[in-house]
Structure 1
Amino acid sequence: MQQSLKQVGSILLYFLGSIGYLASAAAIVAISVIIKFAALLLADRVLYTIFIIGDLLRGIEIIELLNILVFAFIGMGFGVGTKLLPPKFGRQISAALLIPIVPLVFMSTPLLRYSLWLDKVAEKDNLSPAQTQTLTNSFLNQRVRSGGFLGYYIYTAQFPVIPTKQSEMQDLDSFEKKVNSRFVQLTGIYPTVVTWAMRICFWLLRIFYFSIAVIATIAHFRDGLRIAGR
């Protein structure tokens, strides 16, 4: 009888621990996304508005350096959170959850930027959501042969500034030349070299930022496990 009560107590304890773990995991992810969103808004209003340099900072997605802190927080949180799970499976469960969570949280920034871009297009040309979607998809399909978020992600990997007005989209050559001239002024490099350099460097930077996210998560996940004694 006493042994049965202990088993029931253990099951109840693990059940409550699992609920606490899920709640903690959801809170960690939510806080991380909120931090990234707040940082993005701040960068849009302060960093990216700086003359000439702002476009460069936007292009290299400087705000992604925040990933070091954000993913350190995620890794540490999920590591410590294993304390709430059964010792036998805690590490494996947290590690398995981190595999989809890390890329999803990482991609939250470009997703938010895409949403903000749609809002700006709609606001500047006074368009409805449906009209905005049609206009932006048409523009992206013409430029990178893909619409929606994927088209936006590909385009911004090739060019740091994306037009927010219908007139700019229709006269894109002038718009891109204007932006390129700012980079030429800043770097002193020929426009054609600037264009190719941006296409290569921006993709490499995205890979670099994601690598930072993964490394920070793994390193601090291990620290969290040590703190939790797992």
Structure 2
Amino acid sequence: MKNIALIVAAGSGNRMGTNIKKQYLKLAGQPMLARTVLLFEKSKNIDEIIIVIPQGDEQFVKKEILKDITFTKPIRLVDGGSNRGESVYNGLKTLQNNGKDIVLIHDGARPFIHESLIERLIKFLRENPKEIGVIPVIKVKDTIKIVKEDTVIKTPPRTDLYAAQTPQCFYVSKLLPIFKKVEKELNRFTDESSLVEAFGYKVKTVIGDEFNIKITTPQDLIIGEFLLKEGLV
């Protein structure tokens, strides 16, 4: 009965606008991916770590990104695919289909995940073994508009809107068969929850963490540096 962190860091980070892949950019002098991995390495709730990286980056990641981390847990580097879904699936296929194992799928570009959130997600799923999975969400603060061709089509009630975060937490034995069913169409899904929902399953939620931000743009990088400087994360 293991809890496995599957860290997805195989993207190119085009929206960051740099020649360096965003997961390798530094925050307060430390590569973002290293910071993310270290949080799971230190977690008392995680037994194993899988990092999904761009094809051909294995030696670079070992020598430049993870070189200062002393690992006490099993760690594997796995080549990513052409989209997030394929990358996650590549990681999942390395796992044994143990009925009690839990996988926590986390964005490599979310370097401020807190131990308390990891613990809450695992605790919920262990206490509710009939559920397929649970994800962290936070309430949307802005009014959201559905827009087509520069025209507002609908304004959904803000009370019903939440933003999804990671890690998204699932039983491996329940998630892997779903991925197998749609392995040729994984580009359709933006996260694991949406894939599971497409098959009619209900995904549970817990309240996430406002500081568990995803570093996607240069502005996010500035915010991340500020959070670290002020000791907020």
- The TM-score bracket by the shorter chain reads under 0.3
Q: Which has the higher contact order (CA 8 A, sep 6+)?
A: 1
Please identify the structure whose Cα radius of gyration is greater. Answer: 1
Normalising by the residue count of structure 1, what TM-score does the alignment of the two structures yield?
0.26
More strand by share: 2
More helix by share: 1
